[in-house]
Amino acid sequence: MALNPVPTELTTAATDAILALLALYCIRWLGARRSADPAKITLWILVLALLAVASVLGAIAHGFDLSSDTIYLLWQPLFLSLGLVVALFVVAATYDGLGPTTARQLMIPALVVGACFYLVTLVFPGTFLVFVLYEAVAMLVALALYVRLALVSGRRWAWLMVLGIALNIAGAGIQASGTVRLNLGVPLDHNGVFHLVQMVAIVVLVIGVGKSLDETESPSTEP
């Protein structure tokens, strides 16, 4: 199987692969702290696991010179994974912002919405705009929940979550623009730069989750 001849596609594949490895490392890091709040950590592990799946599929799709039919097949589980990542991210934010009971009630509807997003991509194939809009709405909801948590409950770690989400939103804007380029010894297009920003966002978010577990007050307490 030949590599993709386009340099920026190769660097996008490389950053996708690194993103997957980072997600797996974060899963291991959070897993070691699972006993502090099993339900919460399980949610975040699911988010990261689905992100790792999507990143591996993205690395394959961008990194190899594949037929259009093969790429189309790869995009199906990739889009489904992304749809569920965003849905579960909102559930995880709800767990912190509105409590575990509300998060449990939201779980099934959120997963249905994530699956519906995938179905929409089948109706409107070949456009990333659908995902950008879907992600934007979800991230803004999560952002509002953590800003409220930081301001009303005074939980300082929530500002780390706000920063992580803001970075993710900025990265999504870079990806949606389609024009950003960066040379770090190798050429990166908008997708590669987005992955770099997303890596930083993930690190910040996971640190925030870890800090939340260190609080003397249980994170499962309803605010």
Residue 218 lies in a domain: no
Q: Which of 74-88, 112-126, 163-177 has the lowest mean pLDDT?
A: 112-126
Is residue 53 within 8 A of residue 17, CB to CB? The reply is no
Residue 1 lies in a domain: no
Does 13 reside within a domain? yes
> Is-above-0.95 flag for pTM?
no
C-beta of residue 175 within 8 angstroms of C-beta of residue 190: yes
Give the model's pLDDT for residue 128.
67
Q: What is the mean pLDDT of the chain?
A: 93
Q: What residues pair up with 183 in beta bridges, in sequence order?
A: 187
For residue 111, is it within any domain? yes
- Predicted confidence at residue 105, as pLDDT, reads 98
Is the model's pLDDT at 219 over the cut of 50? no
223 located within any domain: no
In this prediction, residue 133 has a pLDDT band, given cuts at 50, 70 and 90, of: confident
Residue 7 has pLDDT above 70, yes or no: yes
Number of domains in the chain: 1
What is the spatial distance between Cα 202 and Cα 207, in angstroms, rounded to a whole number? 8
| Averaged pLDDT for residues 1-16 | 96
Answer whether residue 2 is part of any domain: no
The answer to the question of residue 221 being in a domain is: no
Evaluate whether 42 touches 36 at the Cβ level (below 8 Å): no
Residue 204 lies in a domain: yes
Domain assignment of residue 89, given as a range = 7-213
